[in-house]
Amino acid sequence: LASWLPLSLRSTKLNLIFSTDSHGRTLDIFYRHCSRTKHTITIMEVLNTGSIIGMFASQAWHNSSHVYGDGECFLFRASPNPQCFKWKHDDTIEVLSFEEDSHDGIGVSMTSSPDQEVAAVMEHFMVSRSNFISMGGTVDGSSGLRLNEDLSTGESACALGFNNDPLGGPDQPQFEIGLVEVYGLVREMDGRAVVDGANDQMWDPGF
């Protein structure tokens, strides 16, 4: 897993900041534990298959009406057959702003041209509402990886930019989730969270 991280983060250590076994299964609690940690790795167990899948977030997860994150985000399968799906920009497509137009507020306007729709979804890095979190998107509104509000079910499709395999398996676009854990990246020398001096990338919920 360390080899998949951005170069500047490969010497960091992992610090468990959230676990459904210890903290329960609600997004409110998830946000409370994750909103002060910029770089996180979320891993989860697919119950039907025992696969371990996850995502690396480049910014702090928090309840937001906006799409955020950047091209350092990635999706992965840890087992079986470990594989990382990093985001790659398509230089042939002009990246435009999102027009929140679907029932989840994460779609693009139906008046957009096909290229505009693809351009918007290409930068669909991190989405976190009161009822789900997701990373990566498709033109039809699916996600590279999405968890519901009680962190018990997920879905996965091939996301634009990430070009990932469906992480639940080829025949499981939706699946039940077992254990979910979130790890923050901390500096090896003192165990403090890595923030790169970029406090504006961290979410301060005011508590």
Mean pLDDT for 181-197 is 71
- pLDDT for 123 equals 82
* Mean per-residue pLDDT, 102-112: 47
pLDDT for position 105: 53
* Tens digits of residue pLDDT in 56-76: 999 999 999 999 999 999 999
Q: Which residues span the domain enclosing 89?
A: 2-187
**Weakest-pLDDT range from 40-44, 153-157, 166-170, 187-191:** 187-191
pLDDT higher than 60, residue 100: no
> Could you tell me the pTM of the whole model?
0.81
Q: Is residue 154 part of a domain?
A: yes
Q: What is the pLDDT of residue 99?
A: 41
User: For residue 114, what pLDDT is reported?
Assistant: 58
Sort 153 into a burial class: Cβ within 10 Å, 0-12 / 13-18 / 19+. middle
Which range among 98-107, 137-146, 187-196 shows the weakest confidence by mean pLDDT?
98-107
Number of compact structural domains in the chain: 1
Residue 205 lies inside a defined structural domain of this protein: no
For residue 104, the model assigns a pLDDT of 56
Residue 201 lies in a domain: no
Q: Could you tell me if 28 and 205 are in contact, meaning their C-beta atoms sit under 8 angstroms apart?
A: no
- Antiparallel, parallel or unpaired: β 52-57 and 132-137: unpaired
* Cα–chain center distance at 45: 15
Q: Is residue 199 part of a domain?
A: no
Question: Quick check: 36 and 59 in contact, CB under 8 A?
Answer: no
Question: What is the per-residue pLDDT for 122?
Answer: 84
Each residue's pLDDT tens digit, 138-184? 988 999 999 999 999 999 999 999 999 999 998 899 999 999 999 99
Count CB-CB contacts under 10 A for residue 201: 16
- What is the separation, in whole angstroms, between the first and last Cα of the chain? 32
pLDDT of 89 reads 78
Q: Which residues contact 175 (CB under 8 A, 6 or more apart)?
A: 46, 47, 48, 49, 153, 154, 155, 156, 168, 169
Asked, for residue 203, whether it belongs to a domain, the answer is no
Mean pLDDT in the chain? 84
Q: Which amino acid is at 90?
A: D
What letter does residue 153 receive in the DSSP assignment? E
Question: Omega before 80 cis (within 30°)?
Answer: yes
Half-sphere exposure of 166 (CA within 13 A, CB side): 14
